[in-house]
Amino acid sequence: MTSVEPITGKEKPKDSLQEEFFTIEDVIDKTVNKLNFRLAFIFWAALSTVFNAGAVTDMTVMTGNIPYKDWTCSSKKCTSLYAAASDKETFFSQQTMCDNDFIAGIDFHWATKKTTFTTDWNIYCKNEAKLSTISGVYFFGGIFGLLCSTGIFDRIGRKKGALLGSAITTLATAASAVAPNYEALLVFRIMSGFGLMISYTGTYCWIIEFAPTNLRNIASGFYPMGWSISSLIFALLGYLIDKWQHIYLATAGICAFSTIMLIVNPLPESPRFHLVRGEEKEAKKCLLSFFQATGNRFSFEGVNLIYEKRVQNYFKQVSDFKRYPAMLKRTLLCMLCWFFVSIIGFAYTFGWSKIGSNLYTSYLLGALGGSIGNVSSITACKLLGRKGATIFFFGGIAVFNFIAMVHVQFSESWTLEYVASLIGSISGSAAFAMVYLYTGELSPTSHRGMIMCLSSSSARVGSFLGPYVSLLYGVTDRRVPLALFAGLAFCGCLVSFFLPDTTGVAIPETPKDIKD
Protein backbone atom coordinates (compact mmCIF):
# COMPACT_ATOMS: atom_id res chain seq x y z
CA MET A 1 0.00 0.00 0.00
CA THR A 2 1.28 3.42 -0.90
CA SER A 3 0.35 5.94 1.77
CA VAL A 4 0.02 9.45 0.43
CA GLU A 5 -0.29 12.56 2.54
CA PRO A 6 -3.28 14.75 1.71
CA ILE A 7 -2.50 17.51 -0.76
CA THR A 8 -4.59 20.44 -1.88
CA GLY A 9 -5.87 20.96 -5.40
CA LYS A 10 -4.13 19.01 -8.17
CA GLU A 11 -0.54 19.81 -7.22
CA LYS A 12 1.97 16.96 -7.18
CA PRO A 13 5.00 16.43 -4.94
CA LYS A 14 8.12 17.74 -6.66
CA ASP A 15 9.89 14.37 -6.36
CA SER A 16 7.01 12.40 -7.94
CA LEU A 17 6.45 14.14 -11.24
CA GLN A 18 5.76 10.87 -13.07
CA GLU A 19 2.95 9.91 -10.74
CA GLU A 20 -0.61 11.17 -10.69
CA PHE A 21 -2.56 11.89 -7.52
CA PHE A 22 -6.39 11.76 -7.45
CA THR A 23 -9.11 11.64 -4.87
CA ILE A 24 -11.75 8.93 -5.28
CA GLU A 25 -14.14 11.60 -6.52
CA ASP A 26 -11.60 12.69 -9.15
CA VAL A 27 -11.31 9.11 -10.40
CA ILE A 28 -15.07 8.55 -10.55
CA ASP A 29 -15.74 11.93 -12.21
CA LYS A 30 -12.93 11.35 -14.71
CA THR A 31 -14.13 7.86 -15.63
CA VAL A 32 -17.93 7.98 -15.30
CA ASN A 33 -18.89 11.26 -16.96
CA LYS A 34 -22.30 10.34 -18.32
CA LEU A 35 -25.29 8.14 -17.53
CA ASN A 36 -25.35 4.98 -19.62
CA PHE A 37 -27.72 2.01 -19.51
CA ARG A 38 -25.51 -0.12 -17.26
CA LEU A 39 -25.02 2.65 -14.72
CA ALA A 40 -28.75 3.45 -14.73
CA PHE A 41 -29.48 -0.25 -14.22
CA ILE A 42 -27.19 -0.38 -11.20
CA PHE A 43 -28.85 2.66 -9.67
CA TRP A 44 -32.26 1.14 -10.32
CA ALA A 45 -31.12 -2.23 -8.97
CA ALA A 46 -30.36 -0.44 -5.72
CA LEU A 47 -34.10 0.25 -5.40
CA SER A 48 -34.76 -3.44 -4.76
CA THR A 49 -32.62 -3.27 -1.64
CA VAL A 50 -35.18 -0.92 -0.04
CA PHE A 51 -38.43 -2.43 -1.38
CA ASN A 52 -39.23 -3.33 2.21
CA ALA A 53 -38.71 0.15 3.69
CA GLY A 54 -42.09 1.80 3.13
CA ALA A 55 -44.08 -1.35 3.91
CA VAL A 56 -42.26 -2.12 7.18
CA THR A 57 -42.36 1.51 8.35
CA ASP A 58 -46.05 2.08 7.55
CA MET A 59 -47.19 -1.38 8.66
CA THR A 60 -49.64 -0.24 11.34
CA VAL A 61 -51.48 1.98 8.86
CA MET A 62 -53.15 -1.19 7.52
CA THR A 63 -52.68 -3.79 10.27
CA GLY A 64 -53.77 -1.38 13.02
CA ASN A 65 -56.47 0.63 11.26
CA ILE A 66 -59.50 1.23 13.50
CA PRO A 67 -62.63 0.88 11.30
CA TYR A 68 -64.73 3.51 13.05
CA LYS A 69 -67.31 3.51 10.25
CA ASP A 70 -67.64 -0.28 9.88
CA TRP A 71 -69.69 -1.48 12.86
CA THR A 72 -73.26 -2.41 13.73
CA CYS A 73 -75.35 -2.11 16.87
CA SER A 74 -75.81 -5.16 19.12
CA SER A 75 -77.41 -3.66 22.26
CA LYS A 76 -80.64 -1.84 23.11
CA LYS A 77 -78.62 1.23 24.11
CA CYS A 78 -77.07 1.44 20.63
CA THR A 79 -80.24 0.65 18.64
CA SER A 80 -82.31 3.19 20.58
CA LEU A 81 -79.73 5.91 19.92
CA TYR A 82 -79.75 4.98 16.24
CA ALA A 83 -83.56 5.16 16.11
CA ALA A 84 -83.50 8.61 17.72
CA ALA A 85 -80.66 9.96 15.51
CA SER A 86 -81.70 12.73 13.15
CA ASP A 87 -78.84 11.98 10.71
CA LYS A 88 -78.61 8.21 10.40
CA GLU A 89 -75.99 8.40 7.61
CA THR A 90 -73.37 9.75 9.99
CA PHE A 91 -74.43 7.72 13.03
CA PHE A 92 -71.84 4.99 12.59
CA SER A 93 -68.78 7.10 13.33
CA GLN A 94 -65.95 7.51 15.80
CA GLN A 95 -67.83 10.29 17.57
CA THR A 96 -70.91 8.15 18.19
CA MET A 97 -68.90 5.18 19.39
CA CYS A 98 -66.59 7.12 21.69
CA ASP A 99 -68.99 9.73 23.07
CA ASN A 100 -71.36 6.98 24.21
CA ASP A 101 -68.67 4.66 25.58
CA PHE A 102 -69.79 1.74 23.43
CA ILE A 103 -68.13 -1.56 24.29
CA ALA A 104 -67.06 -3.95 21.53
CA GLY A 105 -68.88 -7.28 21.70
CA ILE A 106 -71.62 -5.81 23.89
CA ASP A 107 -72.89 -2.57 22.35
CA PHE A 108 -71.57 -3.14 18.84
CA HIS A 109 -69.78 -5.59 16.57
CA TRP A 110 -67.20 -4.77 13.92
CA ALA A 111 -68.79 -5.19 10.48
CA THR A 112 -65.62 -5.19 8.36
CA LYS A 113 -64.25 -8.47 7.03
CA LYS A 114 -60.70 -7.15 7.43
CA THR A 115 -59.21 -7.99 10.80
CA THR A 116 -56.63 -5.77 12.50
CA PHE A 117 -54.82 -6.12 15.78
CA THR A 118 -56.83 -3.13 17.03
CA THR A 119 -60.12 -4.99 16.53
CA ASP A 120 -58.68 -8.23 17.92
CA TRP A 121 -57.27 -6.54 21.03
CA ASN A 122 -60.00 -3.91 21.53
CA ILE A 123 -57.89 -0.84 20.82
CA TYR A 124 -60.25 2.04 20.03
CA CYS A 125 -61.58 5.35 21.43
CA LYS A 126 -59.86 5.96 24.80
CA ASN A 127 -57.26 3.30 23.98
CA GLU A 128 -56.45 4.70 20.53
CA ALA A 129 -53.22 6.19 21.89
CA LYS A 130 -51.96 2.59 22.04
CA LEU A 131 -52.08 2.51 18.25
CA SER A 132 -50.01 5.70 18.08
CA THR A 133 -47.56 4.17 20.56
CA ILE A 134 -47.10 0.96 18.59
CA SER A 135 -46.70 3.03 15.40
CA GLY A 136 -44.24 5.43 17.01
CA VAL A 137 -42.20 2.91 19.00
CA TYR A 138 -40.91 1.56 15.68
CA PHE A 139 -39.01 4.84 15.24
CA PHE A 140 -37.76 4.61 18.81
CA GLY A 141 -36.15 1.31 17.77
CA GLY A 142 -34.86 3.07 14.68
CA ILE A 143 -32.98 5.59 16.82
CA PHE A 144 -31.16 2.79 18.61
CA GLY A 145 -30.39 1.17 15.27
CA LEU A 146 -28.95 4.38 13.90
CA LEU A 147 -26.79 4.99 16.96
CA CYS A 148 -25.41 1.48 16.69
CA SER A 149 -24.99 1.68 12.93
CA THR A 150 -22.49 4.52 13.25
CA GLY A 151 -19.99 2.01 14.56
CA ILE A 152 -21.22 -0.79 12.29
CA PHE A 153 -20.69 1.18 9.06
CA ASP A 154 -17.20 2.24 10.09
CA ARG A 155 -16.20 -1.23 11.31
CA ILE A 156 -17.56 -3.67 8.73
CA GLY A 157 -18.60 -1.35 5.89
CA ARG A 158 -21.73 0.15 4.39
CA LYS A 159 -22.88 -2.90 2.44
CA LYS A 160 -22.30 -5.52 5.15
CA GLY A 161 -23.89 -3.24 7.72
CA ALA A 162 -26.96 -2.78 5.55
CA LEU A 163 -27.17 -6.55 5.03
CA LEU A 164 -27.09 -7.15 8.79
CA GLY A 165 -29.91 -4.64 9.31
CA SER A 166 -31.99 -6.17 6.53
CA ALA A 167 -31.69 -9.64 8.07
CA ILE A 168 -32.87 -8.33 11.46
CA THR A 169 -35.84 -6.59 9.81
CA THR A 170 -36.87 -9.77 7.98
CA LEU A 171 -36.86 -11.88 11.15
CA ALA A 172 -38.68 -9.25 13.25
CA THR A 173 -41.39 -8.73 10.61
CA ALA A 174 -42.00 -12.47 10.28
CA ALA A 175 -42.20 -12.81 14.08
CA SER A 176 -44.81 -10.02 14.20
CA ALA A 177 -47.23 -12.29 12.34
CA VAL A 178 -47.43 -14.60 15.36
CA ALA A 179 -47.40 -11.92 18.08
CA PRO A 180 -49.78 -13.20 20.80
CA ASN A 181 -50.50 -9.82 22.36
CA TYR A 182 -49.91 -6.07 22.22
CA GLU A 183 -46.74 -6.17 24.32
CA ALA A 184 -45.09 -8.77 22.10
CA LEU A 185 -45.91 -6.79 18.97
CA LEU A 186 -44.34 -3.72 20.59
CA VAL A 187 -41.06 -5.62 20.99
CA PHE A 188 -41.12 -6.86 17.40
CA ARG A 189 -41.85 -3.36 16.10
CA ILE A 190 -38.84 -2.02 18.00
CA MET A 191 -36.68 -4.75 16.44
CA SER A 192 -38.07 -3.95 12.97
CA GLY A 193 -37.21 -0.27 13.36
CA PHE A 194 -33.77 -1.16 14.70
CA GLY A 195 -32.91 -3.27 11.66
CA LEU A 196 -34.62 -1.19 8.97
CA MET A 197 -32.88 2.06 9.85
CA ILE A 198 -29.49 0.35 9.80
CA SER A 199 -30.26 -1.17 6.41
CA TYR A 200 -31.81 1.93 4.81
CA THR A 201 -29.16 4.42 5.93
CA GLY A 202 -26.27 2.05 5.22
CA THR A 203 -27.53 1.33 1.72
CA TYR A 204 -27.88 5.04 0.96
CA CYS A 205 -24.35 5.85 2.12
CA TRP A 206 -23.08 2.89 0.10
CA ILE A 207 -24.80 3.89 -3.14
CA ILE A 208 -24.26 7.66 -3.05
CA GLU A 209 -20.50 7.21 -2.58
CA PHE A 210 -20.29 5.64 -6.04
CA ALA A 211 -22.14 8.44 -7.82
CA PRO A 212 -20.13 10.97 -9.87
CA THR A 213 -20.64 14.63 -9.01
CA ASN A 214 -22.87 15.40 -12.00
CA LEU A 215 -25.10 12.38 -11.37
CA ARG A 216 -25.45 12.44 -7.58
CA ASN A 217 -28.91 14.00 -7.77
CA ILE A 218 -30.07 11.20 -10.10
CA ALA A 219 -28.63 8.46 -7.87
CA SER A 220 -30.19 10.09 -4.83
CA GLY A 221 -33.54 10.50 -6.61
CA PHE A 222 -33.59 6.87 -7.70
CA TYR A 223 -32.99 5.61 -4.19
CA PRO A 224 -36.09 6.93 -2.33
CA MET A 225 -38.18 5.69 -5.24
CA GLY A 226 -37.69 2.27 -3.61
CA TRP A 227 -39.55 3.57 -0.57
CA SER A 228 -42.41 4.88 -2.72
CA ILE A 229 -42.67 1.64 -4.70
CA SER A 230 -42.68 -0.27 -1.41
CA SER A 231 -45.56 1.91 -0.17
CA LEU A 232 -47.52 1.23 -3.37
CA ILE A 233 -47.00 -2.52 -2.97
CA PHE A 234 -48.06 -2.26 0.66
CA ALA A 235 -51.26 -0.42 -0.30
CA LEU A 236 -52.08 -3.31 -2.63
CA LEU A 237 -51.34 -5.88 0.09
CA GLY A 238 -53.55 -4.04 2.55
CA TYR A 239 -56.41 -3.94 0.06
CA LEU A 240 -56.17 -7.59 -1.03
CA ILE A 241 -55.32 -9.32 2.27
CA ASP A 242 -57.98 -9.49 4.99
CA LYS A 243 -56.03 -10.87 7.99
CA TRP A 244 -53.43 -8.59 9.56
CA GLN A 245 -51.14 -11.53 10.37
CA HIS A 246 -50.98 -12.44 6.68
CA ILE A 247 -49.99 -8.86 5.80
CA TYR A 248 -46.99 -9.23 8.11
CA LEU A 249 -46.05 -12.54 6.47
CA ALA A 250 -46.32 -11.06 2.97
CA THR A 251 -44.16 -8.11 4.01
CA ALA A 252 -41.61 -10.50 5.54
CA GLY A 253 -41.38 -12.07 2.07
CA ILE A 254 -40.62 -8.64 0.59
CA CYS A 255 -37.95 -8.16 3.27
CA ALA A 256 -36.38 -11.49 2.32
CA PHE A 257 -36.37 -10.44 -1.34
CA SER A 258 -34.67 -7.14 -0.47
CA THR A 259 -32.05 -8.99 1.55
CA ILE A 260 -31.27 -11.34 -1.33
CA MET A 261 -31.02 -8.46 -3.81
CA LEU A 262 -28.65 -6.68 -1.44
CA ILE A 263 -26.40 -9.74 -1.47
CA VAL A 264 -26.35 -10.15 -5.27
CA ASN A 265 -26.17 -6.43 -6.11
CA PRO A 266 -23.13 -5.92 -8.39
CA LEU A 267 -21.83 -2.90 -6.48
CA PRO A 268 -18.82 -3.74 -4.28
CA GLU A 269 -18.16 -2.20 -0.87
CA SER A 270 -17.66 1.56 -0.89
CA PRO A 271 -14.05 2.47 -1.83
CA ARG A 272 -14.31 5.47 0.48
CA PHE A 273 -14.84 3.12 3.42
CA HIS A 274 -11.58 1.32 2.59
CA LEU A 275 -9.63 4.48 1.87
CA VAL A 276 -10.51 6.17 5.14
CA ARG A 277 -9.15 3.04 6.83
CA GLY A 278 -5.94 3.37 4.82
CA GLU A 279 -6.67 0.35 2.61
CA GLU A 280 -5.70 1.87 -0.75
CA LYS A 281 -5.31 -1.47 -2.49
CA GLU A 282 -8.82 -2.57 -1.52
CA ALA A 283 -10.25 0.81 -2.52
CA LYS A 284 -8.72 0.48 -6.00
CA LYS A 285 -10.20 -3.03 -6.36
CA CYS A 286 -13.65 -1.70 -5.49
CA LEU A 287 -13.34 1.11 -8.02
CA LEU A 288 -12.21 -1.26 -10.77
CA SER A 289 -15.14 -3.60 -10.01
CA PHE A 290 -17.50 -0.64 -10.22
CA PHE A 291 -16.02 0.55 -13.53
CA GLN A 292 -16.22 -2.95 -14.96
CA ALA A 293 -19.89 -3.27 -13.94
CA THR A 294 -20.74 0.08 -15.56
CA GLY A 295 -18.77 -0.52 -18.76
CA ASN A 296 -16.05 2.05 -18.03
CA ARG A 297 -12.28 1.68 -18.01
CA PHE A 298 -9.59 3.16 -15.84
CA SER A 299 -6.01 2.16 -15.17
CA PHE A 300 -4.37 2.78 -11.80
CA GLU A 301 -0.90 2.37 -13.27
CA GLY A 302 1.16 5.28 -11.97
CA VAL A 303 -1.84 6.58 -10.01
CA ASN A 304 -2.03 7.05 -6.24
CA LEU A 305 -5.17 7.90 -4.31
CA ILE A 306 -5.16 10.93 -2.04
CA TYR A 307 -6.32 10.06 1.43
CA GLU A 308 -5.69 10.47 5.09
CA LYS A 309 -5.57 7.28 7.11
CA ARG A 310 -7.80 7.62 10.15
CA VAL A 311 -8.62 5.56 13.19
CA GLN A 312 -12.39 5.06 12.99
CA ASN A 313 -13.11 5.66 16.66
CA TYR A 314 -16.61 6.70 17.71
CA PHE A 315 -15.49 9.02 20.50
CA LYS A 316 -12.79 10.53 18.28
CA GLN A 317 -15.44 11.37 15.70
CA VAL A 318 -17.65 12.97 18.35
CA SER A 319 -14.75 15.12 19.57
CA ASP A 320 -14.19 16.29 15.97
CA PHE A 321 -17.44 18.26 16.16
CA LYS A 322 -15.79 20.48 18.73
CA ARG A 323 -12.59 20.80 16.71
CA TYR A 324 -14.46 21.63 13.50
CA PRO A 325 -17.37 23.99 14.27
CA ALA A 326 -18.29 24.29 10.57
CA MET A 327 -19.10 20.55 10.51
CA LEU A 328 -21.07 20.88 13.75
CA LYS A 329 -23.11 23.76 12.32
CA ARG A 330 -23.94 21.84 9.15
CA THR A 331 -24.90 18.74 11.10
CA LEU A 332 -27.23 20.58 13.49
CA LEU A 333 -28.98 22.40 10.64
CA CYS A 334 -29.42 19.15 8.71
CA MET A 335 -30.82 17.43 11.81
CA LEU A 336 -33.44 20.16 12.12
CA CYS A 337 -34.45 19.74 8.47
CA TRP A 338 -34.84 16.00 8.95
CA PHE A 339 -36.94 16.53 12.07
CA PHE A 340 -39.33 18.98 10.37
CA VAL A 341 -39.93 16.94 7.24
CA SER A 342 -40.40 13.69 9.18
CA ILE A 343 -42.95 14.89 11.69
CA ILE A 344 -45.03 16.31 8.82
CA GLY A 345 -44.63 13.29 6.55
CA PHE A 346 -45.51 10.64 9.10
CA ALA A 347 -48.37 12.63 10.60
CA TYR A 348 -49.89 12.40 7.11
CA THR A 349 -48.92 8.75 6.65
CA PHE A 350 -50.67 7.67 9.84
CA GLY A 351 -53.49 10.18 9.44
CA TRP A 352 -54.96 9.45 6.01
CA SER A 353 -57.88 7.62 7.64
CA LYS A 354 -58.76 10.91 9.37
CA ILE A 355 -58.31 13.12 6.29
CA GLY A 356 -59.84 11.02 3.51
CA SER A 357 -63.04 8.99 3.38
CA ASN A 358 -61.33 5.78 2.24
CA LEU A 359 -58.06 4.61 3.80
CA TYR A 360 -56.86 2.54 0.84
CA THR A 361 -57.57 5.21 -1.76
CA SER A 362 -55.95 7.91 0.38
CA TYR A 363 -52.86 5.85 1.16
CA LEU A 364 -52.50 4.80 -2.48
CA LEU A 365 -52.74 8.39 -3.72
CA GLY A 366 -50.29 9.46 -1.01
CA ALA A 367 -47.82 6.78 -2.16
CA LEU A 368 -48.24 7.88 -5.79
CA GLY A 369 -47.58 11.44 -4.66
CA GLY A 370 -44.39 10.23 -3.03
CA SER A 371 -43.22 8.75 -6.35
CA ILE A 372 -43.98 12.02 -8.14
CA GLY A 373 -42.14 13.94 -5.44
CA ASN A 374 -39.02 11.78 -5.73
CA VAL A 375 -38.91 12.19 -9.51
CA SER A 376 -39.55 15.93 -9.31
CA SER A 377 -36.66 16.33 -6.86
CA ILE A 378 -34.25 15.25 -9.63
CA THR A 379 -35.54 17.93 -12.01
CA ALA A 380 -35.66 20.59 -9.30
CA CYS A 381 -32.01 19.87 -8.45
CA LYS A 382 -30.99 20.69 -12.01
CA LEU A 383 -33.08 23.85 -12.22
CA LEU A 384 -32.72 25.28 -8.71
CA GLY A 385 -29.66 23.59 -7.23
CA ARG A 386 -29.60 21.65 -3.94
CA LYS A 387 -30.32 24.59 -1.67
CA GLY A 388 -32.96 26.20 -3.89
CA ALA A 389 -34.82 22.92 -4.41
CA THR A 390 -34.90 22.15 -0.69
CA ILE A 391 -36.29 25.60 0.14
CA PHE A 392 -38.80 25.32 -2.73
CA PHE A 393 -40.24 22.00 -1.52
CA PHE A 394 -40.42 23.06 2.12
CA GLY A 395 -42.24 26.16 0.87
CA GLY A 396 -44.65 23.95 -1.08
CA ILE A 397 -45.55 22.06 2.10
CA ALA A 398 -46.29 25.32 3.91
CA VAL A 399 -48.41 26.79 1.09
CA PHE A 400 -50.60 23.72 0.55
CA ASN A 401 -51.20 23.22 4.26
CA PHE A 402 -52.39 26.82 4.49
CA ILE A 403 -54.71 26.19 1.52
CA ALA A 404 -56.02 23.02 3.21
CA MET A 405 -57.26 25.12 6.15
CA VAL A 406 -60.03 26.56 3.94
CA HIS A 407 -63.19 24.45 4.06
CA VAL A 408 -64.57 23.66 0.60
CA GLN A 409 -66.66 20.52 -0.06
CA PHE A 410 -66.40 19.38 -3.69
CA SER A 411 -68.32 16.13 -3.18
CA GLU A 412 -69.03 13.56 -0.49
CA SER A 413 -65.50 12.16 -0.77
CA TRP A 414 -63.47 15.14 -1.98
CA THR A 415 -62.70 18.34 -0.07
CA LEU A 416 -60.19 21.11 -0.60
CA GLU A 417 -58.34 19.90 2.51
CA TYR A 418 -58.02 16.40 1.02
CA VAL A 419 -56.79 17.65 -2.39
CA ALA A 420 -54.35 20.17 -0.90
CA SER A 421 -53.02 17.54 1.52
CA LEU A 422 -52.36 15.13 -1.35
CA ILE A 423 -50.51 17.81 -3.32
CA GLY A 424 -48.65 18.89 -0.19
CA SER A 425 -47.54 15.28 0.37
CA ILE A 426 -45.77 15.45 -3.02
CA SER A 427 -43.71 18.39 -1.75
CA GLY A 428 -43.11 16.49 1.48
CA SER A 429 -41.69 13.45 -0.30
CA ALA A 430 -39.52 15.65 -2.51
CA ALA A 431 -38.23 17.55 0.54
CA PHE A 432 -37.38 14.24 2.21
CA ALA A 433 -35.42 13.13 -0.87
CA MET A 434 -33.61 16.45 -0.92
CA VAL A 435 -32.49 16.37 2.71
CA TYR A 436 -31.07 12.89 2.13
CA LEU A 437 -29.01 14.08 -0.83
CA TYR A 438 -28.12 17.41 0.77
CA THR A 439 -26.88 15.84 4.01
CA GLY A 440 -24.85 13.21 2.18
CA GLU A 441 -23.07 15.88 0.15
CA LEU A 442 -22.49 18.19 3.10
CA SER A 443 -20.95 15.42 5.22
CA PRO A 444 -17.24 14.57 4.94
CA THR A 445 -16.58 10.95 3.95
CA SER A 446 -14.76 10.24 7.20
CA HIS A 447 -17.85 11.21 9.23
CA ARG A 448 -20.68 10.51 6.77
CA GLY A 449 -21.91 7.39 8.54
CA MET A 450 -22.16 9.23 11.86
CA ILE A 451 -23.74 12.39 10.43
CA MET A 452 -26.31 10.48 8.38
CA CYS A 453 -27.18 8.44 11.47
CA LEU A 454 -27.49 11.52 13.68
CA SER A 455 -29.69 13.24 11.09
CA SER A 456 -31.82 10.16 10.64
CA SER A 457 -32.10 9.82 14.43
CA SER A 458 -33.47 13.36 14.51
CA ALA A 459 -35.94 12.32 11.83
CA ARG A 460 -36.97 9.30 13.91
CA VAL A 461 -37.88 11.62 16.79
CA GLY A 462 -40.13 13.52 14.38
CA SER A 463 -41.47 10.24 13.01
CA PHE A 464 -42.27 9.05 16.54
CA LEU A 465 -44.28 12.23 17.18
CA GLY A 466 -46.06 12.07 13.80
CA PRO A 467 -48.67 9.42 14.76
CA TYR A 468 -49.51 11.38 17.92
CA VAL A 469 -49.94 14.60 15.92
CA SER A 470 -52.49 12.78 13.75
CA LEU A 471 -54.60 12.30 16.91
CA LEU A 472 -55.21 16.06 16.90
CA TYR A 473 -57.75 15.54 14.12
CA GLY A 474 -60.03 13.81 16.62
CA VAL A 475 -59.67 16.16 19.59
CA THR A 476 -59.34 19.66 18.13
CA ASP A 477 -60.21 21.78 15.11
CA ARG A 478 -58.77 20.33 11.90
CA ARG A 479 -56.97 23.62 11.19
CA VAL A 480 -54.72 23.18 14.22
CA PRO A 481 -52.61 20.30 12.81
CA LEU A 482 -52.60 21.93 9.38
CA ALA A 483 -51.28 25.20 10.85
CA LEU A 484 -48.66 23.18 12.76
CA PHE A 485 -47.49 21.50 9.53
CA ALA A 486 -47.29 24.84 7.72
CA GLY A 487 -45.29 26.39 10.55
CA LEU A 488 -42.81 23.51 10.70
CA ALA A 489 -42.36 23.66 6.92
CA PHE A 490 -41.62 27.38 7.11
CA CYS A 491 -38.97 26.62 9.76
CA GLY A 492 -37.49 24.10 7.29
CA CYS A 493 -37.20 26.85 4.68
CA LEU A 494 -35.46 29.11 7.18
CA VAL A 495 -32.98 26.46 8.32
CA SER A 496 -32.15 25.45 4.72
CA PHE A 497 -31.34 29.07 3.92
CA PHE A 498 -28.32 28.92 6.26
CA LEU A 499 -26.84 25.82 4.59
CA PRO A 500 -24.29 26.18 1.76
CA ASP A 501 -25.27 25.01 -1.72
CA THR A 502 -23.50 21.78 -2.75
CA THR A 503 -24.47 21.83 -6.43
CA GLY A 504 -21.43 20.72 -8.45
CA VAL A 505 -19.19 20.89 -5.39
CA ALA A 506 -16.83 18.05 -4.48
CA ILE A 507 -17.79 16.02 -1.42
CA PRO A 508 -15.36 16.75 1.44
CA GLU A 509 -13.18 13.81 2.45
CA THR A 510 -12.43 15.00 5.99
CA PRO A 511 -13.61 17.87 8.25
CA LYS A 512 -10.51 19.82 7.18
CA ASP A 513 -11.99 20.09 3.69
CA ILE A 514 -15.14 21.90 4.86
CA LYS A 515 -15.09 25.57 3.95
CA ASP A 516 -18.03 27.71 5.03
String of DSSP letters for 324-385: -HHHHHHHHHHHHHHHHHHHHHHHHHTTHHHHSS-HHHHHHHHHHHHHHHHHHHHHHHHHHH
Residue with the bigger pLDDT between 16 and 372: it is 372
Q: What is the pLDDT of residue 17?
A: 41
pLDDT of amino acid 18: 53
What pLDDT, on a 0 to 100 scale, did the predictor assign at position 349? 80
Tell whether the model's pLDDT for residue 10 goes beyond 50: no
The stretch 380-400 carries a mean pLDDT of 91
What integer pLDDT is reported at residue 120 of this predicted model?
93
Residue 395 confidence (pLDDT): 94
Helix and strand numbers, DSSP H then E, in the chain: 22, 4
Contact 214, 507 (CB under 8 A): no
Percent of the chain beyond pLDDT 90? 28
CATH class of 313-510: mainly alpha
Domain ranges, ordered by start, for the chain = 1-65+116-310, 313-510
Confidence band, pLDDT 50/70/90 cuts, at residue 283: confident
d(CA 66, CA 83): 25
Amino acid, res. 192: S
pLDDT tens by residue, 12-61 = 444 444 567 777 878 888 888 788 888 888 877 777 888 899 899 989 98
Question: Percentage of residues in the chain with pLDDT exceeding 70?
Answer: 94
CATH 1.20.1250.20 for the 1-65+116-310 domain, yes or no = yes
Q: What is the pLDDT of residues 118-143, one digit of tens each?
A: 999 999 988 888 988 898 889 889 88
Question: What angle in degrees, to the nearest 10, is found between the helix axes of 158-176 and 182-208?
Answer: 160
Contact 473, 351 (CB under 8 A): yes
pLDDT at 9: 39
CA distance linking residue 339 with residue 465, whole number of Å? 10
pLDDT at 447: 80
Residue 3: what residue type? S
Q: How far is CA 173 from CA 167, 168, 221, 246, in A?
A: 10, 9, 27, 11
Q: What is the pLDDT of residue 375?
A: 82
Q: Is the pLDDT of residue 218 over 50?
A: yes
Common-topology check for domains 1-65+116-310 and 313-510: yes
What integer is the mean pLDDT of 243-252?
96
Looking at the predicted structure, is the pLDDT value of residue 1 above 50?
A: no
Predicted local confidence at residue 275, as pLDDT: 78
Which pLDDT score is estimated for 15?
A: 45
Q: Tell me: pLDDT of 463 over 80.
A: yes
Position with higher pLDDT, 206 vs 199: 199
User: Does pLDDT of 332 surpass 60?
Assistant: yes
Quick one: pLDDT at residue 516?
A: 64
CA 459 to chain centre: 9
Considering the entire predicted model, what is its pTM? 0.78
pLDDT bin (cut points 50, 70, 90) of residue 311 is low
Cα(101)–Cα(91) distance, integer angstroms? 14
3-state class percentages of the chain: helix first, strand second, coil last, to nearest 5: 70, 5, 25
Q: Which of 7-21, 154-168, 338-352, 472-486 has the lowest mean pLDDT?
A: 7-21
- Count Cβ neighbours within 10 Å for each residue of 168-207 and write b for 16 or more, e otherwise: bbbbbbbbbbebeebeebbebbbbbbbbbbbbbbbbbbbb
Quote the pLDDT of residue 7.
34
Lowest mean pLDDT among 55-69, 70-84, 223-237, 238-252: 223-237
Write the burial class of residue 51 (CB in 10 Å: 0-12 exposed, 13-18 middle, 19+ buried). buried
Cα–Cα distance measured from residue 516 to residue 500, given in angstroms and rounded to the nearest whole number: 7
Output 147 or 195, whichever has higher pLDDT. Answer: 195
The whole-angstrom distance between residue 301's C-alpha and the CA centroid of its chain comes to: 41
284-307 per-position pLDDT tens digit: 888 888 888 888 888 887 777 776
